[in-house]
């Protein structure tokens, strides 16, 4: 068993809802409401779920772009563990280089007035690599790593395709040899043919550099190709976490089953019995009592409306938050083709 790089415990992030002239707080959006998981060194953990379930908020809390409302974010570096949630800005500064972000939109995340060499070299400069020649050597090394031709070093981002811009973003994120990469929907803005190139690049880089990746995505097909383990979120909470194959072939949570069933597969006549969930995703400002999924769940009972399921270790390495998980026998992807 590999060591733990990141351990998130009871993480909460609530955003106040303000109304009226006095901007009085009238409620809270419970964007993240008690999430726990850990990320092992060298693995890719995918965080999946539908729009608004809190994926980006979790990753922004981990990078401390947001201050968590509650919980611990234990990060282990050079044998020492620190709780990022408790650190001040100044205390965080030396740690930031170990955690880098790759963004969804390669178009808006790059400074249009900087050439590629400067974009990739900027984090190096900020962290004290003032020697031009040395910086250039490192930039070229990084460009080779992400398969960008060295000849492009003086071009501006607008001259690049979406896939190339995403490569620039990845090179920049890797500049300081981070331990952890947080990639928030890194391929969802890309065309299919380019998406495959970037996914393969991420897999290669991880093998070569031993990176640890938190991969945030809503597309379960994409996730299947990159993740070692998958965590599923629903309305601010985690509902299931398991090894990728186990989660896809034998989901334990009814929401995971429904998500898998709704994912379109490029095989005609594949799905004859798709699960069509009723209603819509609950509002995190006003989550349903009990299990937040109960209004849409085909297996809900009276108990589900009142009692909130906690995340438990159902089997070694498999976690689920459903009151009825051991009574249900849910369908995985094998049953859908």
Partner 1 sequence: MVEPILSEPILSVRGLHTSFAAQEGTVRAVDGVSFNVFEGRTLGVVGESGCGKSVTARSILGIVERPGRVTGGEILLRPGDGGAPVDLLKLSPDAMRKVRGREIGLVFQEPMASFSQYYTIGNQIGEGIRLHLGLDAKAARERAIELLDMVGVPQPSRRVDEYPFQLSGGLRQRVMIAMALSCDPRVLIADEPTTALDVTTQAQILDLLRELQEKKGLAIILITHDMGVIAEMAHDVAVMYLGRAVETGPVRDIFRAPRHPYTRALLRSIPTVLAKPRSRLPTIEGSIPHPFNRPQGCAYHPRCVEIIDDQCRTEEPPEAGPETHRIRCFLHGGHKGAVA
Exactly one of 284, 287, 290, 309 binds ligand ATP (CB under 6 A); that residue is 284
Give the per-residue contact string, 36-75, with ligand ATP (x = CB under 6 A; - = no): -------------x-xxxxxxx------------------
56 binds, among ligand SF4, partner 1, Mg ion, none (CB under 5 to 8 A by kind): Mg ion
Beta strands at 99-102 and 80-83: parallel, antiparallel or unpaired: unpaired
Q: Which of residues 41-80 bind Mg ion (CB under 5 A)?
A: 56
204: Cβ–Cβ under 8 A, 6 or more apart, which residues? none
Q: How far is CA 163 from CA 95, 138, 171, 179, 189, in A?
A: 29, 21, 12, 24, 9
| Least Å from the CB of residue 163 to partner 1 | 6
By the 8 A CB rule, do 233 and 305 touch? no
By the 8 A CB rule, do 185 and 217 touch? yes
Beta strands at 229-234 and 212-217: parallel, antiparallel or unpaired: unpaired
As a whole number of angstroms, the distance between CA 8 and CA 206 comes to: 22
337 binds, among Mg ion, ligand ATP, partner 1, none (CB under 5 to 8 A by kind): partner 1
Question: Any contact of residue 220 with partner 1 (CB under 8 A)?
Answer: yes
| Secondary element (H or E) of residue 313 | strand 312-315
Question: Any contact of residue 8 with partner 1 (CB under 8 A)?
Answer: no
| Least Å from the CB of residue 30 to ligand ATP | 8
Q: Which of residues 40-59 bind partner 1 (CB under 8 A)?
A: 44, 50-51
Q: How many CB atoms lie within 10 A of CB 37?
A: 20
| Least Å from the CB of residue 227 to ligand SF4 | 22
Rg (CA), the chain: 21
299 binds, among ligand ATP, ligand SF4, partner 1, none (CB under 5 to 8 A by kind): ligand SF4
As a whole number of angstroms, the distance between CA 54 and CA 47 comes to: 10
* Among 270, 197, 276, 214, residue whose Cα is nearest residue 41: 214
What pairs with residue 48 in β-bridges? 217, 232
* Among 207, 175, 204, residue whose Cα is nearest residue 43: 207
If the CB atoms of residues 157 and 186 are measured against Mg ion, the closer one turns out to be 186
| Least Å from the CB of residue 300 to ligand SF4 | 4
Question: Any contact of residue 333 with partner 1 (CB under 8 A)?
Answer: yes
As a whole number of angstroms, the distance between CA 172 and CA 204 comes to: 17
| Least Å from the CB of residue 319 to ligand SF4 | 14
* Among 11, 95, 4, residue whose Cα is nearest residue 55: 11
Exactly one of 6, 8, 11, 29 binds ligand ATP (CB under 6 A); that residue is 29
If the CB atoms of residues 94 and 112 are measured against partner 1, the closer one turns out to be 112
Q: Which residues sit at the interface with ligand SF4, rule CB under 6 A?
A: 253-254, 291, 293-294, 297, 299-300, 304, 309, 322-324
Exactly one of 193, 273, 316, 327 binds partner 1 (CB under 8 A); that residue is 193
If the CB atoms of residues 36 and 56 are measured against Mg ion, the closer one turns out to be 56
| Least Å from the CB of residue 272 to partner 1 | 10
By the 8 A CB rule, do 233 and 54 touch? yes
Q: Where do contacts with partner 1 occur on this chain (CB under 8 A)?
A: 44, 50-51, 161-164, 191-197, 199-200, 203, 218-222, 224-228, 243-245, 248, 258-271, 274-277, 280-281, 296, 333, 337
Q: Where do contacts with ligand ATP occur on this chain (CB under 6 A)?
A: 15, 29, 31, 49, 51-57, 218, 284
Q: Where do contacts with Mg ion occur on this chain (CB under 5 A)?
A: 56
């Amino acid at each position: 068993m590999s060591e733990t790089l990141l351990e998130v415990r009871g993480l909460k992030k609530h955003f106040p809802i303000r109304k009226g002239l006095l901007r009085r707080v009238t409620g809270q959006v419970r964007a993240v409401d008690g999430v726990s998981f850990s990320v092992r060194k060298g693995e890719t953990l995918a965080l999946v779920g539908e729009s608004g379930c809190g994926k980006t908020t979790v990753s922004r809390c981990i990078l401390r772009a947001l201050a968590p409302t509650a919980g611990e974010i234990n990060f282990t570096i050079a044998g020492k563990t620190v709780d990022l949630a408790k650190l001040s800005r100044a205390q965080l500064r030396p740690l930031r280089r170990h955690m880098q972000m790759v963004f969804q939109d390669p178009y808006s995340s790059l400074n249009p007035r900087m050439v590629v060499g400067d974009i990739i070299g900027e984090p190096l400069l900020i962290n004290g690599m003032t020697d031009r020649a040395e910086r250039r050597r490192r930039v070229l090394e990084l460009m080779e790593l992400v398969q960008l031709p060295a000849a492009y070093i003086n071009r501006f981002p607008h001259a690049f395709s979406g896939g190339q811009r995403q490569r620039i973003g990845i090179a920049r994120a890797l500049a300081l040899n981070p331990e952890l990469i947080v990639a928030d929907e890194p391929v969802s803005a890309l065309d299919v043919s380019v998406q495959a190139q970037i996914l393969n690049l991420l897999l290669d880089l991880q093998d070569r550099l031993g990176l640890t990746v938190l991969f945030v995505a809503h597309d379960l097909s994409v996730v299947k190709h990159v993740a070692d383990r998958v965590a599923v979120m629903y309305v601010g909470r985690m509902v299931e976490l398991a090894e990728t194959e186990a989660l896809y072939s034998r989901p334990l949570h009814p929401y995971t089953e429904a998500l898998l069933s709704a994912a379109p597969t490029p095989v005609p006549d594949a799905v004859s019995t798709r699960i069509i969930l009723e209603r819509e995703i609950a509002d995190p400002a006003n989550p349903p009592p009990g299990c937040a999924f109960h209004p849409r769940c085909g297996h809900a009972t009276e108990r589900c409306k009142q009692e909130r399921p906690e995340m438990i270790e159902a089997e070694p390495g498999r976690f689920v938050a459903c009151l009825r998980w051991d009574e249900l026998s849910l369908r995985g992807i094998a049953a859908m083709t």
